[in-house]
Structure 1
Amino acid sequence: MLIVGADFPNKGKSPGRRFEIALCAPGDPLELRPEPDNPADEHAIAVYSDRGVQLGYISSQRAVRIAQLIRQGHTITAIFQEATRFGAVARVSFDGAVPELPLPAPPPEVPTTGFDPDPDWYPDEVWPD
């Protein structure tokens, strides 16, 4: 789930959202707080770190459904996954399920064919001064 709005300032003297995102580690718990009185979006859901600092908002595409589930009494658990250039990504689960982080991507493979271990050219030597 995308967390957007990281470039906007927080109210009061709270640290900036990007700063707080940088402090989060994968798996840190997050709190989702509906903001039905938000003038920009009645379905807005703010995302807060476990330190109580706002990271941003759930993207509007997901917020409508998640706000509906919260109003219906479903429990929602969220954890921090990773920082991104637009904000961050969170993992969310419902009704007591535990959100899980995805497995890390495997390292890229080193090519074993088409590699010449003894090239025909060598760079110029660097002579000591």
Structure 2
Amino acid sequence: MKKVRIGAVVAEFNYDITHMMLELAKEHARFLDAEITRVIAVPGVFDMPLAVKKLLLEDEIDAVITLGAVIEGATDHDQIVVQHASRKIADLALDYDKPVALGISGPGMTRLEAHQRVDYAKRAVEAAVKMYRRLKEDI
């Protein structure tokens, strides 16, 4: 079976958390006989859709994962960021016929909860690989 080539879009905001997420994602990709071949760092989760689109346009990318941690603040800003970014990310998967997996934790979580949820990165890799392979089976 062909090794799945994954592009990753990683938020720099809360980098202490997202860096751990990226390392876990790389490790889990190897376990699943996949590889993260390209990483694009963006300022924050809200900035992800454009980078996701860029990766989806590349023939050498089979699937994309998004890695970010949106921590609750004093306002509802975290809710807005995640809702808009996740919706656009899902739309891009449909527009480009390639899997895009959501590895974004939040909203409404504390920094401690964000650290406890770094495994969302592994879930994103797993979802991207499964979707890619299952979609290829049907072709």
Larger Rg: 1
Q: Identify which of structures 1 and 2 has the higher relative contact order when contacts are C-alpha pairs closer than 8 Å and 6+ apart.
A: 2
Structure 1 or 2: more helix by fraction: 2
